[in-house]
Copies of this chain bind each other. A is one copy, B any other.
Amino acid sequence: MRDVYVIGGGLTRFGELWEHSLRDLFVQAATDAIRDARADRLDGMYIGCMSSGLFVEQEHLSSLLADYLGVAPVPAVRVESACASGGMAFRSAFFEVASGASEVVLAGGVEKMTDGADVTRALATASDQEYEASQGITFPGLYAMMARSHMQQHGTTREEIASVAVKNHENGLLNPHAQIHARITIDQVLASARVADPLRLLDCSPISDGASAVVLASEAVARRSGRALIKVIGVGAATDAIALHARSDLAGLEVVARAAAKAYAMSGKGPRDVNVAEVHDCFTIAEIMATEALGLVSRGRGGAAVRAGEPSREGRIPVNTSGGLKAKGHPVGATGIAQIVEVVTQLRGEADKRQIKGARIGLAQNMGGSGGSATVHILEAI
């Protein structure tokens, strides 16, 4: 298997972008990524998108976007794994370059969620339709059960959970692409509207429009590009039952632990080697559970660790320097690739005021549904 590098990244602003269509957003991010990569060719394209069918009544996105980007007849494939669509698109692009079939492949993600569709119902199609969605449960409810379980098993407090939102909003203030630029306090989180007990409005990531893209390339192309050499050293993915009732433990994310084990094994690195991590905080509790499953903090200590400042920018292992899904926004198909863009930005030392000094190894963890699918990617500045 050949080595694969990320040589460019691009990102739109995330938010309620009513003035831009889905195709405009994607073209913007992809053009930025191609320019950043100084790429003069593209051999293939993968696009993560969860549900353009339900959100904007458009499937067959791959060709539409290849055409609007001006690169057709380049082969293009849309990849879907709910909110892990971006991570899975990155993985597929990785294999195409690693196989030797292609030299330069773009992996992007996009979602247009605020144009009028019944968003919560559309998102619920990422749960088990026959056993969950059809019974009326939606994602805040599913994550509320996971949060309650974590609180009961590990003594995690409401304040600890809220401190994830406080930290990520703090980071989001330094990210010009972020949807939300607002400092908040634990008291504000606890006083915000109850959505699904124990989760409140400020525990939830927002509904967002946005797009993201990175360019993957062989070593030869990466060296010619003149860009910093950011190598993909670990690739891991896993699946689990998408319905919560089929899981043995609601307080853990087995799917993340399994994906991480593969990525760590491939890279020869462990959690202690990671300098910066972007994790999937669709709800505050998800970040706590993800950092535990990744081994960045020990099991059950995720909440306490946040309170102790460990995943803060100046802490032991900075998590979600971008602001995370919570503050940066969560256009679901775009999220996995946006995480890679942040990791690359950090490893290049181009993260401006949110730069983690000396970051050489970064990790991105993307997740679908309530933990039905996950990807973990590890990148290293060579």
Chain A residues 76-124 with CB under 8 Å of chain B are: 76-82, 88, 91-92, 95-96, 98-101, 122
Cβ-defined contact, B242 with A63, below 8 A = yes
Interchain CA distance A78-B60 in the complex, whole Å: 13
Given contacts A57-B125, A98-B99, A240-B63, contact A79 B78 (CB under 8 A): yes
Segment of A128-136, A279-287, A349-357 engaged in the interface with chain B:
A128-136
Any B CB within 8 A of the CB of A54: yes
Complex Cα distance, B1 from A75, in Å, reads 18
A239 contacts which of B75, B126, B237, B241 (Cβ < 8 Å)? B75
Given contacts A59-B51, A95-B92, A373-B63, contact A74 B133 (CB under 8 A): no
Known: A53-B51, A60-B369, A99-B95. A239 touches B79 (CB 8 A): no
- Tell me the smallest distance from the CB of A139 to a CB of chain B, in Å: 11
Q: Which residues of B contact A254 (CB under 8 A)?
A: 73
CB <8 Å contact, B255 and A73: yes
Q: Name, among A56, A75, A99, A241, the residue most crowded by chain B CB atoms within 10 Å (CB to CB).
A: A75
Identify the closest chain B residue to A122 (Cβ): B53
Q: Are A63 and B81 in contact (CB under 8 A)?
A: yes
Which residues of the other chain, B, contact A81 by a CB distance below 8 angstroms?
60, 62-63, 76-78
Known contacts A63-B368, A77-B80; 4 additional CB pairs below 8 A are: A64-B372, A67-B240, A77-B79, A92-B95
